[in-house]
Amino acid sequence: MNAPIVQPPAFLDGRPKKLLIGGKWVEAASGKTFNTINPSTGNVLAELAQGGTEDIDRAVKAARAAFEGPWRKFKPHDRQEILLKLADLVDRHFDQFTLLDALEMGEPITRRRNARRRVLGLIRYYAGMATNLHGETVENSAPGGDFVTYTLKEPVGVVGAIVPWNGPMVSWIWKLGPVLATGCTAIYKPSEEASLSALLLADLLTQTGLPEGVVNIVTGHGHEAGAALAAHPDVDKIAFTGSVETGQKILQASIGNLKRVTLELGGKSPDIVFADVDMDLAVPGAAMACFGNTGQVCSAGTRLFVEDKIYDEFTERVAAFSRTLNVGDALEAETQIGPIVSQKQLDRVSRYLDIGRDEGARVLSGGARLTDEGRADGYFIPPTVFGDVQDEMRIAREEIFGPVVSTLRFSDIEEVAKRANRTSFGLGSGVWTRDVGKAHYLAKALRAGSVWINCYQMMDPAMPFGGYKMSGYGRESGTAQFDDYLNVKSVWIRTA
């Protein structure tokens, strides 16, 4: 294995990281800390404050005080300025963010570097939207007088943002952007597996002129800090991204004060390949639809339906392509597939490899953990292609969240639409065909929040992203997202 291509980031100075509450960096009330691990090596990366109920309570009070205090005086243009300053700061520190996410969650550094345009575009999109949110004047037909009627859009209040580890930086911005654009305040609870880039972002926020307490950050475990945030009676909204199981717990915890809740949850997304396809485009496209970010993507195309006529050739070519992908340390320049994020997740993915074999699926590539020299201490599973998968197998129904694709045969468009929809999830979906009629038919027929045709996992700040069914509700990006952070007020004025 080659030497890492980077120096350790300055942000990792060896000192334990603290919580940001009311504009000050403080230790957890309990004094407890926990470690975050580099999944490429198994080594401890940093020590973080383990926030709990008391810290969440302090953070909620700070967020409420900011919401009712200085932040209220910030006009849309002022909030826009904060976001634009943040974008410039993130641009200047982008290499640090890249390193932190590569070190902490194992996303290959080369892939992270390519995300610069997307991340900056996202923050600047939110800056633009800050001055574009408005109510409307409404013509009314009310009897008994003349009335002017209009609506106001007002920030919903204190938001608890809880996110997973698999896209730490973008998950953070997807929740922070609408908070700042609409004038809400927030308590942010990053994943215990990947908190460092969130802490760096919070540090940069303190340099933008943002009043104290508008954004607070409490690192810690889900069952402590996360659960306390979801249940807190003075939090107005929870914006959650993560698993279905945690989403259900959050909904239950939120009933005390009937919080508004948005949920971005898991998936088992179908990716459908027709026989007319350009294989040179579709083979790598379908493979990376699943294997990008080591399969740790909520909308990964994990159920690969291939038309009968080309099934054998296509799946063999996907398997051959996957064998060419370099699996290794996230910091190495040639790495295309990094490690799985944690020992726990490695065990889970390994279990599914056994389950697939036991269910009678054929392993066409990958299939076992890599433990050769240089990879023995990290959590490496190679891209794995299962052949001859049947709809009822667990590997075709359950979210694995690793580099494992299940390939299934189909022969007819209506049949494949029905089978693709026969899942409790509805997040992403893909179609590969040269036939425009098939493309439009499936764009309508698939019950999923995104349909990608002859491409996969495309994202843009102006395009909404979110789920149908048990993949959740609410949207990230696009104008639809803002209504989740706003209340609508109706104003009636009698004029005669």
Binding site for ligand NAD (CB under 6 A): 162-166, 189, 191-192, 222-223, 226-227, 230, 241-243, 246, 249-250, 264-267, 298, 399, 401, 427, 467, 472
**Contact at 8 Å (CB) between 181 and 482?**
yes
Name the minimum Å distance from CB 198 to ligand NAD.
Answer: 10
* Residue nearest ligand NAD by beta-carbon distance: 222
What ranges make up the beta strands (E) of 384-480? 384-387, 404-410, 430-432, 452-453, 465-466, 472-473, 475-476
Cβ 230 to ligand NAD shortest distance, Å: 5
The nearest distance, CB 96 to ligand NAD, in angstroms, is 22
What gap in Å lies between CA 233 and CA 60, rounded to an integer? 10
- Nearest distance from C-beta of residue 60 to ligand NAD, angstroms: 14
Q: Which is nearer to ligand NAD, 218 or 393 (CB)?
A: 218
Cβ within 8 Å of residue 345, ≥6 positions away: 296, 379, 401, 402
Strands, DSSP E only, in 53-179?
A: 137-138, 147-155, 158-162
In 411-451, which ranges are E strands? Answer: 430-432
CA distance 80 to 83: 5
Q: Residues 6 or more apart from 496 whose CB is under 8 A from it?
A: 145, 146
Shortest CB 316 distance to ligand NAD, Å: 29
Give 6 or 45: the residue with its C-beta nearer to ligand NAD.
45
Nearer to ligand NAD, 306 or 404 (CB): 404
- Distance, in Å, from the CA atom of 331 to the CA atom of 348, rounded to the nearest integer, reads 24
Q: Report the DSSP beta bridge partners of residue 240.
A: 162, 263
Q: How far is the CB of 223 from ligand NAD (least distance, A)?
A: 5
User: Are the beta carbons of 293 and 167 closer than 8 angstroms?
Assistant: yes
Amino acid at 165: W
- CA torsion, points 245, 248, 249, 250, in degrees to nearest 10? 120
Residues 393, 356 contacting (CB under 8 angstroms): yes
Burial grade of 61 (CB within 10 A; 0-12, 13-18, 19 or more): middle
Report residue 292 as tokens.
């990008």
CB of 51 to ligand NAD, least distance (A): 11
What are the tokens at 268? 């088992």
Instruction: Return the active site residues.
Output: 264, 298
The residue among 163 and 310 lying less far from ligand NAD, judged by its C-beta, is 163
Cα dist from 465 to 431, 481, 482, whole Å:
17, 9, 13
CB 229 within 8 A of CB 201: no
Number of H-type helices and E-type strands within the chain? 15, 22
How far is the first Cα of the chain from the last one, in angstroms, to the nearest whole number? Answer: 81
Compute the least distance from the CB of residue 227 to ligand NAD, in Å: 4
